[in-house]
Amino acid sequence: MMPQVVSVRVRNGRGRRVRLWIPILPVLLVLSPVLLLALAVAVAAVACLVWRINPVRALDAGWGLLCALRGTRIEIEHSRTAVLVDIR
């Protein structure tokens, strides 16, 4: 079972203690996009090392590809469902 709460106790130089209870699940939900981005960067860096690609040039090429997508419009319809992706 996953832990629910982290208890942190801090004592300053004057002997005063502060205790904080931090709920883990809400913190993980808030930080999950950052963790996902960090994982993607780590995987991309390892892939660049494996295939001997300069990471700076790969980042530049990815940014160029992302910028070239401006104005792309994708429409998908299937029975009663429709999806529109419009990149501006």
Q: What tokens appear for 33 in the block?
A: 């996009």
Amino acid 43: pLDDT = 95
Amino acid 39: pLDDT = 95
Amino acid 18: pLDDT = 87
Burial class (CB in 10 A: 0-12, 13-18, 19+), 34: exposed
Q: What is the dihedral of CA 44, 47, 51, 56, to 10 degrees?
A: 20
pLDDT digits 0-9 by tens, 47-83: 999 999 999 999 999 999 989 999 999 999 998 899 9
